[in-house]
C-alpha cells in the first residue's frame, strides 16, 4: 500500500515528505494506521547524525499512537480496530530479560530493531523499489507502519490518541525514571537538569512521589513557568552563577540532593548531576542520550563515598503490561499529558516541529495525520 511518510534521506537534512510503499504485515507483525505522532529530542539526535545506530534512509519517529489496520499470521493479542501505542522497548514476556524481573529491556527484537529491520531481517518500507530503514522498531513518521506484535501496547479506545501518543516516550520515561529507577521516597530532595518533556515528566513523577524539594535547572529560563506548574519548587539557571552548577546545588541543599536526573544528553551535565548528589546516598539517573564517542567521567571517589550513578530507558516501564495503566491514570486525572502539548500541527508540517524543538520553543508538538 501507499503511505504518507517523512523520510530521513541523510543526516543533518530536513525530512522529506514522500508517498512510500508499505508492505503488509508478515507473521507476528501488525500494520498500524498512525493517528498522531510527536517529535522527541531522540528523533532530532538521530537525524543529526550523532546516533551510532542511526541509519539512512529511514522513517524516524517513536512517540505515536494509532489503530490496528491488519494483523499478520499468528498474531493473537490484537485485532483490527484496536488502539495501540508503539513501543521502542518491546515486551515479549519470554526472554531472559523479561523473565528476570530486574529490567524492562527485552531482547526479543532489539538486535534487528537496531539495524532498522523487522525481526526477519527485512524492511517493510521502500520507495521506487529502494528499501528504507525502520527506526527504533516504531517509525511513527509514516501514516502506515508495521511493527512486531511484541512492540505494541493495546490501550483503551476511550483515550484521545493525540494526547496518549506522548506515553510512547516522553511522559512515561520521566515518570518511570522517578518511580521505577530511582524509587524516590516521600520527603526526598530532587534536582532535574533539562526541562524539556523528559525533565518536566520527571518533575511530575517527583511530585507524585511526594518529593519535598524539586529543583528545576535549565539554561533557558522560559522553561521555568511550566516546570512550576508541574510541581518544581526552585529554579536555577546555571548562566546566573560563576560557580560550577554542582556547587550551586550542593550549597542550596546542605550537602547535595537525594536524587538528580539528567534529561539533556550532555556528558558534562551528567557529571554535574552526579556530583550535586549528597555524599553517602545520593543517586543520579542518566536519561539523556549522548552522541557517538562521548563518554562520562568523574573521580571514582564520588562513587566510593556513596553516590550512585544509574541510567533509565523508557523509565523502566514494561510497555505492554504497564502502559494501559498509565493511560487509565491519565483518564482518571492522575497523570498530566495535555500540558506537554505546546503545539498541534498537520503531519506535513513536521519539519516545523523539529525547528520549534531546536529553538527551545516547544515542549511537544503533536502532528496529526
Binding site residues, ligand AHE, CB under 6 A = 40, 42, 51-53, 89, 105, 110, 169, 289, 313-314
State the DSSP string of 19-70. Answer: EEEEPPP-TTEEEEEEEEEE--HHHHHHHHT--TT--SSB----EEEEEEEE
Indicate which of ligand NAD, ligand AHE, Zn ion, none lies near residue 220 (CB less than 5 to 8 Å, by partner kind).
Answer: ligand NAD
Q: Can you read off the three cell numbers belonging to residue 200?
A: 518536566
Q: Can you read off the three cell numbers belonging to residue 232?
A: 518544581
In terms of Cα–Cα distance, which of 196, 172, 165, 333 is closest to 264?
Answer: 196
Instruction: Specify which residues 217 forms β-bridges with.
Output: 193, 236
**Residue 184 contacts residue 190 (beta carbons within 8 Å):** yes
Instruction: Write the burial class of residue 209 (CB in 10 Å: 0-12 exposed, 13-18 middle, 19+ buried).
Output: buried
| Active-site annotation holder among 37, 42, 140, 172 | 42
The yes-or-no answer on residue 339 being catalytic is: no
For residue 222, the minimal CB distance to ligand NAD (Å) is: 9
For residue 80, the minimal CB distance to ligand AHE (Å) is: 28
The yes-or-no answer on residue 98 being catalytic is: yes
Q: Can you read off the three cell numbers belonging to residue 318?
A: 514494561
5 binds ligand NAD (CB under 6 A): no
Which of 241, 281 has the CB closer to ligand NAD? 241
The yes-or-no answer on residue 364 being catalytic is: yes
For residue 251, the minimal CB distance to ligand NAD (Å) is: 18
Which of 84, 287 has the CB closer to ligand NAD? 287
For residue 91, the minimal CB distance to ligand NAD (Å) is: 15
The yes-or-no answer on residue 92 being catalytic is: yes
Indicate which of ligand AHE, Zn ion, ligand NAD, none lies near residue 51 (CB less than 5 to 8 Å, by partner kind).
Answer: ligand AHE
In the shown chain, the binding pattern of residues 236 to 255 toward ligand NAD, with x for contact by CB under 6 A and - for none, equals --x-----------------
Task: Compute the CA torsion angle 236, 239, 241, 246 (nearest 10 deg).
Answer: 60
Strands 16-22 and 2-7: antiparallel
Segment near ligand NAD (CB under 6 A), from 12-20, 38-46, 50-58, 72-80? 38-46
Chain positions 215 to 254 lying near Zn ion, rule: CB under 5 A, are none
For residue 133, the minimal CB distance to ligand NAD (Å) is: 19
The yes-or-no answer on residue 169 being catalytic is: yes
| Active-site annotation holder among 4, 33, 70, 92 | 92
Considering only the C-alpha atoms of the chain, give the largest distance between any 2 of them, rounded to a whole number of Å: 63
For residue 288, the minimal CB distance to ligand NAD (Å) is: 4
How far apart, in whole angstroms, are the C-alpha atoms of residue 111 and residue 286? 23
* Residue 181 DSSP label: I
Indicate which of Zn ion, ligand NAD, ligand AHE, none lies near residue 193 (CB less than 5 to 8 Å, by partner kind).
Answer: ligand NAD
How far apart, in whole angstroms, are the C-alpha atoms of residue 17 and residue 326? 32
How far apart, in whole angstroms, are the C-alpha atoms of residue 258 and residue 211? 10
In terms of Cα–Cα distance, which of 163, 191, 164 is closest to 178?
Answer: 191
Which of 146, 245 has the CB closer to ligand NAD? 245
Indicate which of ligand NAD, ligand AHE, Zn ion, none lies near residue 269 (CB less than 5 to 8 Å, by partner kind).
Answer: ligand NAD
Which of 265, 282 has the CB closer to Zn ion? 265
How far apart, in whole angstroms, are the C-alpha atoms of residue 249 and residue 235? 11
| Active-site annotation holder among 29, 62, 173, 253 | 62
For residue 170, the minimal CB distance to Zn ion (Å) is: 6
**Residue 57 contacts residue 15 (beta carbons within 8 Å):** no
How far apart, in whole angstroms, are the C-alpha atoms of residue 134 and residue 308? 35
Which of 36, 75 has the CB closer to ligand NAD? 36
Q: Which residues bind Zn ion (CB under 5 A)?
A: 40, 42, 169
The residues assigned a catalytic role are 40-42, 62-63, 92, 95, 98, 106, 110, 169, 364
Amino acid at each position: 500500500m501507499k503511505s504518507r511518510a517523512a523520510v530521513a534521506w541523510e543526516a543533518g537534512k530536513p525530512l522529506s515528505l514522500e508517498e512510500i510503499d508499505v508492505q503488509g504485515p508478515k507473521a507476528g507483525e501488525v500494520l498500524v494506521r498512525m493517528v498522531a505522532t510527536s517529535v522527541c529530542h531522540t528523533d532530532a539526535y538521530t537525524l543529526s547524525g550523532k546516533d551510532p545506530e542511526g541509519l539512512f534512509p529511514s522513517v524516524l519517529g517513536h512517540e505515536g499512537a494509532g489503530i490496528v489496520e491488519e494483523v499478520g499470521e499468528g498474531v493473537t493479542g490484537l485485532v483490527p480496530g484496536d488502539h495501540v501505542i508503539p513501543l521502542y522497548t518491546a515486551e515479549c514476556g519470554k526472554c531472559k530479560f523479561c523473565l528476570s524481573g530486574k529490567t524492562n529491556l527485552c531482547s526479543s527484537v532489539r538486535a534487528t530493531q537496531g539495524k532498522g529491520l523487522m525481526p526477519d531481517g527485512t524492511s517493510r518500507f521502500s520507495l521506487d523499489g529502494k528499501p528504507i530503514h525502520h527506526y527504533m522498531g516504531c517509525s511513527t513518521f509514516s501514516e502506515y507502519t508495521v511493527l512486531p506484535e511484541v512492540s505494541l501496547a493495546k490501550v483503551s479506545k476511550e483515550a484521545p490518541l493525540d494526547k496518549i501518543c506522548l506515553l510512547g516516550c516522553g511522559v512515561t520515561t520521566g515518570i518511570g525514571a522517578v518511580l521505577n529507577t530511582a524509587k524516590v521516597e516521600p520527603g526526598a530532595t530532587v534536582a532535574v537538569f533539562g526541562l524539556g518533556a523528559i525533565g518536566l515528566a520527571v518533575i511530575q513523577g517527583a511530585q507524585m512521589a511526594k518529593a519535598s524539594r524539586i529543583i528545576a535547572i535549565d539554561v533557558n529560563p522560559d522553561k521555568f513557568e511550566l516546570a512550576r506548574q508541574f510541581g518544581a519548587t526552585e529554579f536555577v539557571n546555571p548562566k546566573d552563577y560563576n560557580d560550577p552548577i554542582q556547587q550551586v546545588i550542593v550549597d542550596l541543599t546542605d550537602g547535595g540532593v537525594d536524587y538528580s536526573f539528567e534529561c539533556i544528553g550532555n556528558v558534562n551535565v551528567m557529571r554535574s548531576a552526579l556530583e550535586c548528589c549528597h555524599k553517602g546516598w545520593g543517586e543520579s539517573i542518566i536519561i539523556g542520550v549522548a552522541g557517538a564517542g562521548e563518554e562520562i567521567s568523574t573521580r571514582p571517589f564520588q562513587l566510593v563515598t556513596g553516590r550512585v550513578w544509574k541510567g533509565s530507558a523508557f523509565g523502566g516501564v514494561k510497555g505492554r503490561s504497564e502502559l494501559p495503566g498509565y493511560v487509565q491514570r491519565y483518564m482518571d486525572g492522575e497523570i498530566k499529558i495535555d500540558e506537554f502539548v505546546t503545539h498541534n500541527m498537520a503531519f506535513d508540517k513536521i519539519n516545523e516541529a523539529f525547528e520549534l524543538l531546536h529553538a527551545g520553543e516547544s515542549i511537544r508538538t503533536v502532528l496529526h495525520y
